[in-house]
Amino acid sequence: MSISVKTFASSAEAASALSGDRTARFMGGGTLIMRAVNEGDQSFNTVVLANDAALKQVQPQGDRLIIGAGVTMAQILASRDLDFLHPVARAVGGPAIRNMATVGGNLFAEHPYGDMTAALLVLDCQVTLAGGQSSALADFLRDRDREPRGLVASVSVVRPQSGVFKFRKASRVKPKGVSLMTVAAWVPQSGGRISGARIAYSSMGPMPMRIAAVEQALEGATLDETGISNALAAATNGIEPPTDAIASSWYRKEVAPVHLKRALLEG
């Protein structure tokens, strides 16, 4: 099956083309779509591109940062405003992938990818479509694959205070490899106790997700080995990690408390 490529000047025009064609997919950096094209994916036959400069911009807006969906991991690493996301961007692939892979694309990455999405989940991320509609990232992910597909224009995140945001990616290959388990944590403290923690995993389910059981177990706990013990015991409550070439479901469950502990105390 041949592929048709349509290029538009604005993201609005591209969104319009996407909404009217179930066989169209938007391409940002190409690391997902071109891979599918190379593999002969038959689920789409049109690739939509947008040469919209706004997709590549990072802008502060109040206490939030607006990150264009076309911003690459390399752009994040070059941005002082996004320094809190540097460890996350650095964990994504090698330099060539980072020059191509975009924030928007990461929202659509299938298991075992999606490290950036896990981080965004705990940074109170809002996803804005080209039409202006916004939703919380968790809601966006739930409806991600439903038709009609929208075009993600940007995401916005809260800039964390020092020490609140933690990130850790575990893989079996050094220095870089596919994630065995990625943990992102937002752990604010009040009076020496954790209050309002947000925890997300990637590579532990079909897509990155918040882990409610761990968040509840952290509420009111101290951020030390004793304080987080209940959270570690709940590390895999309610989730069934996948088995893949990297690790079995059993293995992921066994090591999850170890990586969660490292993320919380060393991340």
Interaction site with other proteins (CB under 8 A):
2-5, 7, 27, 30-31, 34-35, 37-39, 47, 49, 74, 93-97, 99-100, 175-176
Residue 222 vs residues 42, 110, 163, 227, 228: alpha-carbon distances, Å: 51, 34, 14, 5, 7
Q: Which residues pair with 193 in a beta bridge?
A: 190
Which one, 34 or 136, has the nearer CB to other proteins?
A: 34
Which one, 97 or 138, has the nearer CB to other proteins?
A: 97
Minimum gap (Å) between residue 258 Cβ and other proteins: 24
Task: With H, G, I as helix, E, B as strand and everything else as coil, classify residue 85.
Answer: helix
Minimum gap (Å) between residue 95 Cβ and other proteins: 5
Task: With H, G, I as helix, E, B as strand and everything else as coil, classify residue 173.
Answer: coil
Minimum gap (Å) between residue 7 Cβ and other proteins: 8
Which one, 34 or 233, has the nearer CB to other proteins?
A: 34
Minimum gap (Å) between residue 73 Cβ and other proteins: 11
190: CB partners within 8 A, 6+ apart: none
Minimum gap (Å) between residue 38 Cβ and other proteins: 4
d(CA 220, CA 223): 9
DSSP element (H, E) containing 61? strand 58-61
Which one, 30 or 160, has the nearer CB to other proteins?
A: 30
Query: Which residue in this structure is represented by tokens 């965004």?
Result: 120
Minimum gap (Å) between residue 206 Cβ and other proteins: 19
Which one, 101 or 221, has the nearer CB to other proteins?
A: 101
- The letter for the amino acid at 101 is A
H-type helices in the chain, by residue range?
11-19, 33-38, 73-77, 86-90, 95-100, 103-106, 115-122, 137-142, 212-218, 229-233, 249-266
